[in-house]
Structure 1
Amino acid sequence: LSIDGAGFFVVSTRCEPVNANTEISFTRAGSFTPNADGFLKNTAGLFLMGVPLDSNGEPPANLVLSGLQPINVSNLTSTAEATTSLALRANLQSSQPINAAVTGGTYNAGTLAGSMAGYAADIDAGVIPPVNGVKSDFQTNMQVFDARGGVHTVTFAALRQADNLWNVEMFVDPPSEVTSGLAGTGQIISGQMAFNGDGTLNVAGTTPALLNPVTVNWTGGANAGNITFDLGTDGLSDGITQFAGDSTLISSSSNGATFGNVIGVSVDKDGVISALFSNGLAKKVFQLPLSTFQNPDGLTRRQGNSYTVSDQSGSLNLKFAGIGGAGFVAPQTLEASTVDLAGEFTSLITIQRAFSASTKIITTADEMLTELNNIKR
């Protein structure tokens, strides 16, 4: 690591959170590598200090020295991420023939409710089972993840009910993977989608439940999921549409990921250290603070190209990268020298000009002495 700016990394001789006994120093030598325990150290044995981030990847509200701790890149746990949003873009053919809903048979009062499952009478309630030859006019499968990283298939199905009106449902296949929704069907949500005369979504005529977060209760002990289905914007064609073209899937996307192990870490220009997982996720875990001083030339030099605060340097100012002249972190680079080349070249030119001027003064004085000698003769 290196710093593009005036800041210094915060390091410590002790592998522990900062306390009253911690020996803090500052360096721009950024050659840090993990030791046997996974803590980042430089060649002088100094531990790199950072701020732990919360579960949302955010730093604490107040950046203080006592909040720093040595950065460890080996104790990062494996992770999975539950799906919380699912977006669907598709077209439902506006000229699709309307399949008339059929009504189930008549049953005695003592008939078990379970014996009625799968009958087309459910179509009237928004459920679209493939019975009696009545199937959905369009359906597509999407992949979602539970909190443990388990993979599940959610099917979106639609059946044209009337002009500008479709019965839709979403269900999990196989149904045994969920306990929510209509028993034995895997259904997690159903309702009607309405469209405007121009083929765009009509939110006012659409069942509100289709547009609100849905709780999905998974079997097997995984935490319940809370999924929001993005089916489009009112009056726009950015989701589900109803045009004259064939019913077709345009795109679908969802967040979440299956279980993954840590495969590496990355550092960005703001000093944020992220754990990289085999499932493609990246989790922010630490952020590097940078220290600045009113007079960095007044710092007291210590071992390992590190420095400590002195009366001449002024007090420590702890900042994140990009704030108050601290500069930015440059990953995958090392600072070959702490010298400001531009400033040094300016000083060199100034000295060279002063030397030239002094040389001319001496030459002029020598010529005057020579002339005086000639006059004397």
Structure 2
Amino acid sequence: MTLSSSLNAGVAGLSVNSSKLGTISDNIANSQTNGYKRAITEFSSLVVSEAGGGKYTAGGVRSASFRQIDARGGLLTTESATDIAIGGRGMIPVTSVSALANLDNEIPVQFVSTGSFRPDQNGVLRTSTGQVLLGWPANRDGSVPAFPRDTTTGLAPVQINSGGLVAAPTTEIGLGVNLPAAQTQAGASGDPIPLSTQYFDNLGASQSLAFTFSPTIPATGSSNEWTVEISDSATDAASNPVASFVVTFDDGFANGGSILGIAGATGGAYDAATGIFTFSTASGPIELDVGTPGDSIGLTQLSAEFGPTGVTKNGSPVGSLSSITITENGFVQGVFEGGFVRTLYQIPVADFPNLNGLRATDGPAFAASPSSGSLFLWNAGDGPTGGMVSFALEGSTADIATELTSLITTQRAYSSNATVIRTVDEMLQETTNLKR
């Protein structure tokens, strides 16, 4: 019994070391494969109950192999904005090119830790091995709708239309202007002060808003009051001005020069909590930020010359896509001619309770399994996940020096188990020769 158990233990030793040699070979072969996760073979002993009387029965050994998917390789700098990696825990959702042929069914999703994505002939971002980047598509205004986080429903291939033309209407204007305090004093000329600013309509055409600031001249003292009229170049003359309001400034010690209050609004409404005066143009509503009461930003009245202190606006004229950027939060943003930036997609970061339980596929990519647990899609950098790193790829987690060391010890172990088998064979041969 002891000899046969020793023989079985030796055979088991050959088998498990053969398995370990396979993982070592895979690791060495993929030591330069970006995103490769090192395969590991671990041994555990098999114990057989002792028969008693000082006898021992060898149980042998068994092995278990798995991939250390939660291990992170070093980040390698590249020159492409669409080379991305995760700077911590998490995976990037992808699908195969072949799966896109049947869009009637739900797209099968796999996961990678890094990828070098390039647009194909249709503008779809994919790797050379056929993995297509997935993300949540943004609305026309660049906002990303709320998608369910515990399912891949809503994910779509990231497609970049480099030849398309895009325009963005102006919806927000920040009006920072200083009005001269001397113009509201008794005896001042009372001449209105004009100011014009550009905005873009719904078709990307350039339009202008004409602001007229008219001071209220009192009989004595200072009124600290101005009437602001807004005219729109896209609106017919008979309907201009499209909006107006009366602003009064504070001349007190604490908040001198800031807005005291706004009243008499026509064609729009002022919200003192936000400092926004909302009015309508020919292309739609515009939120005009004039500042809140007591604030030194926006409209002010100080003893200085008239002058804009900061006029800002959103929107863009018609332009084509010039470049792509991917932010740390996973937003795929298009940079258009003229400097306009719009969010096109958001790439979520997938996490599982047991990353090492994912099932390995070609690529290297991974698929969900019962051992991995349930999926959850995070915004990159939120929760346990790392931020998204552009211009970078994750290197292999296999280290050649470590694998070569394991190769030597595995070879020795295999040879030693073979020696056990030879020794048992010789002992059995001696037992057979006893009857001669």
What is the TM-score when the length of structure 2 is the normalising length?
0.60
Matched letter for residue 67 of structure 1 = G
Residue 43 of structure 1, CA deviation: 2.1
**Residue among 261, 269, 285 paired with 2:344:** 285
Q: In the aligned structure 1, how far is the partner of 2:225 from the partner of 2:377?
A: 57
Q: In the aligned structure 1, how far is the partner of 2:228 from the partner of 2:111?
A: 62
**Residue among 196, 199, 210 paired with 1:144:** 199
Matched letter for residue 285 of structure 1 = L
Q: In the aligned structure 2, how far is the partner of 1:6 from the partner of 1:244?
A: 57
**Residue among 226, 230, 251 paired with 1:166:** 226
The change in CA–CA distance for 1:314 and 1:92 in structure 2 (over 3 A counts) is closer
Q: In the aligned structure 2, how far is the partner of 1:193 from the partner of 1:71?
A: 48
Q: 1:108-133 CA distances to partner (integer Å, 9 max, x unpaired)?
A: xxxxxxxxxxxxxxxxxxxxxxxxxx
Matched letter for residue 317 of structure 1 = L
The 5 Å alignment of 1:133-212 reads 136-162=191-217, 163-172=223-232, 177-179=234-236, 183=238, 186-198=240-252, 199-203=257-261, 206-209=263-266, 211=270, 212=277
**Residue among 331, 334, 343 paired with 1:275:** 334
The 5 Å alignment of 1:40-79 reads 40-55=125-140, 56-63=142-149, 64-74=151-161, 77-79=164-166
**Residue among 86, 92, 115 paired with 1:9:** 92
Q: 1:35-60 CA distances to partner (integer Å, 9 max, x unpaired)?
A: 11111221211222222233452243
Q: In the aligned structure 2, how far is the partner of 1:271 from the partner of 1:85?
A: 25
SS across alignment from 2:302: coil
**Structure 2 runs not aligned, ≥5 long:** 1-83, 218-222, 271-276, 410-436
Q: 1:11-44 CA distances to partner (integer Å, 9 max, x unpaired)?
A: 2222258775754332224122111111122121
Q: In the aligned structure 2, how far is the partner of 1:164 from the partner of 1:80?
A: 40
The match for 2:302 is 243
The change in CA–CA distance for 1:19 and 1:8 in structure 2 (over 3 A counts) is farther
Q: In the aligned structure 2, how far is the partner of 1:232 from the partner of 1:91?
A: 12
Question: Does the alignment pair 1:329 with 2:380?
Answer: no
Residue 99 of structure 1, CA deviation: 9.7
Kept in 2, the 8 Å contact 1:270–1:329? The answer is yes
The match for 1:229 is 288
Question: Does the alignment pair 1:24 with 2:112?
Answer: no
Residue 324 of structure 1, CA deviation: 4.6
Kindly report the root-mean-square deviation, in angstroms, between the aligned alpha carbons of the 2 structures.
3.4
Residue 4 of structure 1, CA deviation: 1.9
Identical positions, percent = 24
Matched letter for residue 5 of structure 1 = G
Q: 1:155-175 CA distances to partner (integer Å, 9 max, x unpaired)?
A: 2222322232333322245xx
Q: In the aligned structure 2, how far is the partner of 1:95 from the partner of 1:22?
A: 68
**Structure 1 runs not aligned, ≥5 long:** 101-133, 218-223, 352-377
Kept in 2, the 8 Å contact 1:16–1:69? The answer is no
The change in CA–CA distance for 1:178 and 1:4 in structure 2 (over 3 A counts) is same
The change in CA–CA distance for 1:239 and 1:3 in structure 2 (over 3 A counts) is closer
SS across alignment from 2:170: coil
The change in CA–CA distance for 1:42 and 1:136 in structure 2 (over 3 A counts) is same
Residue 62 of structure 1, CA deviation: 0.8
Kept in 2, the 8 Å contact 1:52–1:285? The answer is yes
Matched letter for residue 201 of structure 1 = I
The match for 1:215 is 280
**Residue among 162, 176, 179 paired with 1:92:** 179
The match for 1:372 is none
Q: In the aligned structure 2, how far is the partner of 1:81 from the partner of 1:291?
A: 32
**Residue among 346, 351, 359 paired with 1:300:** 359
The match for 1:131 is none
Q: 1:177-201 CA distances to partner (integer Å, 9 max, x unpaired)?
A: 313xx617x4222343323334332
The match for 2:52 is none
Residue 286 of structure 1, CA deviation: 1.8
The change in CA–CA distance for 1:178 and 1:47 in structure 2 (over 3 A counts) is same
Kept in 2, the 8 Å contact 1:79–1:261? The answer is yes
Question: Does the alignment pair 1:253 with 2:312?
Answer: yes
Kept in 1, the 8 Å contact 2:351–2:376? The answer is yes
The match for 2:59 is none
Q: In the aligned structure 2, how far is the partner of 1:231 from the partner of 1:62?
A: 38
The total of aligned residue pairs comes to 300
The match for 1:82 is 169
The match for 1:315 is 373
The change in CA–CA distance for 1:61 and 1:153 in structure 2 (over 3 A counts) is same
SS across alignment from 1:67: coil
Q: In the aligned structure 1, how far is the partner of 2:138 from the partner of 2:184?
A: 56
The change in CA–CA distance for 1:295 and 1:339 in structure 2 (over 3 A counts) is farther
Residue 230 of structure 1, CA deviation: 2.6
Kept in 2, the 8 Å contact 1:85–1:228? The answer is yes
Kept in 2, the 8 Å contact 1:200–1:235? The answer is yes
Matched letter for residue 86 of structure 2 = I
The change in CA–CA distance for 1:250 and 1:47 in structure 2 (over 3 A counts) is closer
Residue 84 of structure 1, CA deviation: 2.1
Residue 333 of structure 1, CA deviation: 0.3
The change in CA–CA distance for 1:207 and 1:315 in structure 2 (over 3 A counts) is same
Q: In the aligned structure 1, how far is the partner of 2:185 from the partner of 2:280?
A: 31
Q: In the aligned structure 1, how far is the partner of 2:213 from the partner of 2:373?
A: 67
Matched letter for residue 314 of structure 1 = S
SS across alignment from 1:15: helix
